[in-house]
């Protein structure tokens, strides 16, 4: 029984990697020339995720940073993140199921009035 547990633990793999920390991050067009970041209303801590799954051994796609940022902006109605941290996550049980994701978190800032 112990051999099977060791084999199972070797077959299951998961990891998480920090891809970077950024002071200000956005994929939208932001007019920073006439914008005061300190005076802007910063909302709560927001998290955005883009995840794709692996079914048996077939991936359903590749997660992207842009899609994770758009998810964070949708969750907060903002267009800029401050103190942003990006993390890549991966989990896979061979020939059964897996998940690959990019997660971004930070403080949301709305620069547009519309």
- Per-residue pLDDT, 71: 93
Helices (H) and strands (E) in the chain, counts: 2, 5
Q: Which tens digits make up the pLDDT trace of 40-60?
A: 666 778 999 999 999 988 889
- Per-residue pLDDT, 111: 77
Q: To the nearest whole percent, how much of the chain has pLDDT over 70?
A: 81
With a cut of 50, list the residues of the chain below it in pLDDT. Answer: none
Under a CB-based contact definition with an 8 Å cutoff, are residues 25 and 70 in contact? no
Q: Where are the alpha helices (DSSP H) in the chain?
A: 2-11, 65-76
Give domain limits for the chain. 14-109
């Amino acid at each position: 029984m112990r051999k099977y547990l060791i084999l199972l633990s070797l077959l299951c793999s998961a990891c998480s990697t920090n891809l970077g920390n950024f002071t200000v991050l956005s994929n939208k067009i932001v007019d920073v020339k006439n914008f005061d970041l300190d005076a802007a209303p910063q909302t709560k801590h927001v998290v955005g995720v883009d995840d794709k799954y692996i079914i048996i051994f077939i991936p359903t796609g590749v997660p992207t940073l842009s899609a994770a940022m758009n998810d964070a902006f949708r969750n907060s109605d903002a267009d800029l993140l401050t103190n942003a941290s990006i993390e890549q996550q991966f989990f896979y049980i061979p020939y059964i199921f897996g998940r690959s994701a990019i997660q971004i978190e930070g403080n949301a800032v709305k620069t547009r009035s519309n």
